[in-house]
Amino acid sequence: DAGITQSPRYKITETGRQVTLMCHQTWSHSYMFWYRQDLGHGLRLIYYSAAADITDKGEVPDGYVVSRSKTENFPLTLESATRSQTSVYFCAAGQGAYNEQFFGPGTRLTVL
C-alpha cells in the first residue's frame, strides 16, 4: 500500500528551466494539495484540487501550474524556475468530513 508517492525525491535545476514534480496516490481521495515548506514559513499551500479537472489557487501560486486529468495524479510544474522556488515540496491527498490529509515523502528542489 504505497499511499502517496512523489518523484523525483531530489532535483537540482537551473534558473529559467521548466521543472515538473509528480504526485500519485493509490487511493481515490477527492482532494489533492501541493505545499512548499521553508524554514520560518511552515507549510504554505500552492494549489489544490477538489476533483479531476478542478483546481484552485492556494496561498502562494505565482510561478506554478497544476493539472489534474486523472484523480490519482496531480503534477506541479514550475514554468521558469527561480532561486526563490528552492524548497521542499509536499503533495497531500485528503477527503472526509474532517479534511484529514495524508502526505507524500516530499521533493527537495534546489534551483541554482
- Which member of 21, 78, 81, 104 binds other proteins (CB under 8 A)? 104
Radius of gyration of the chain (CA): 13
Report the site for other proteins in 6-45 (rule: CB under 8 A): 30-31, 33, 41-43, 45
Q: Compute CA distances 78 → 22, 28, 60, 61, whole Å.
A: 12, 25, 13, 10
* Closest alpha carbon to 69 in 10, 23, 17: 23
Please, which residue, 42 or 69, has the CB nearer to other proteins?
A: 42
Contact residues toward other proteins (CB under 8 A) are: 4, 30-31, 33, 41-43, 45, 48, 50, 56, 58, 90, 92, 94-95, 97-106
